[in-house]
């Protein structure tokens, strides 16, 4: 017995199989994850001892007021920000061990008229601090993480402070 094949039927069968394979692959791949279409606008969370705590997923350096030291947890002035009032007494300032900013100062802007020094607390449980930076007024940094060890800052116009006096201690966590 001789069997003849219909070429149009073979093409239709091949097309149906190709379509089924494509649909099966699409189902296996699934749909792409949903993405946020808008960034979170900056918003004030709270104020502690005059320091304002903010948050945003978009850059908000423009919110840093004059006469403040502004610190963010994210690069490019994003994430949790704290805007400290300036200190007017030499070697006085703020510390923030135990807060979201401890060792996560990724953006900073000194908008005061004076210089500040930044300090790292010893990792042995003591309250010994080491000075490791001297920032002029209007110093701004945000493109890459600024510091993985900053625990506080003081007003230090002439870079002469040998021991910081931390008047305020922020321990805020989200």
Q: Which candidate, 132, 125, 161, 130, places its Cα nearest to that of 146?
A: 132
Per the prediction, the chain carries an average pLDDT of: 84
Mean pLDDT of 131-140: 95
Bridge partners of residue 56, in order along the sequence: 79
Give per-residue pLDDT as tens, 44-94: 999 999 999 999 999 999 999 999 999 999 999 999 999 999 888 999 999
Residues 72 and 78 sit within 8 Å (Cβ to Cβ) = yes
For residue 5, what pLDDT is reported? Answer: 52
Exposure class string for 79-110: b at 16+ Cβ within 10 A, else e: bbbbbbbbbeeebbbbbbeebbbbebbbbbbb
For residue 125, what pLDDT is reported? Answer: 83
d(CA 123, CA 146): 19
C-alpha torsion 96→161→144→168, nearest 10: 20
Collapsing DSSP to helix, strand or coil, 16 comes out as helix
Residues 164 and 128 sit within 8 Å (Cβ to Cβ) = no
Tokens of 8: 């149009």
Tokens of 99: 């807060």
- Do β-strands 92-95 and 165-169 pair in parallel, antiparallel, or remain unpaired? parallel
- Do β-strands 116-121 and 152-155 pair in parallel, antiparallel, or remain unpaired? antiparallel
For residue 6, what pLDDT is reported? Answer: 53
Residue for token pair 């946020």: 36
Residue 8 has pLDDT above 70, yes or no: no
Res. 26 pLDDT band, cuts 50 70 90: very low
Residue 31 has pLDDT above 50, yes or no: no
Q: Which candidate, 168, 149, 172, places its Cα nearest to that of 95?
A: 168
For residue 24, what pLDDT is reported? Answer: 47
pTM of the model: 0.75
């Amino acid at each position: 017995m001789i069997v003849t094949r219909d070429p149009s039927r073979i093409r239709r069968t091949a097309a149906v199989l190709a379509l089924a394979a494509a649909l099966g692959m699409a189902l296996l791949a699934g749909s792409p994850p949903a993405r946020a279409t808008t960034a979170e606008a900056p918003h004030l969370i709270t104020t502690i001892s005059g320091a304002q705590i903010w948050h945003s997923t978009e850059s908000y350096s423009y919110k840093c007021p004059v006469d403040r030291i502004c610190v963010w947890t994210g690069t490019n002035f994003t994430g949790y920000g704290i805007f400290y009032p300036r200190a007017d007494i030499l070697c006085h300032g703020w510390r923030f061990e135990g807060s979201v900013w401890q060792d996560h100062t990724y953006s900073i802007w000194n908008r005061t008229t004076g210089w500040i020094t930044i300090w790292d607390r010893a990792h042995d449980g003591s309250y010994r601090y080491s000075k490791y930076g001297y920032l002029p007024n209007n110093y701004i940094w945000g493109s890459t993480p600024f510091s993985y060890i900053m625990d506080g800052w003081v007003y230090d116009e002439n870079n002469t402070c040998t021991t910081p006096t931390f008047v305020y201690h922020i321990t805020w966590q989200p």
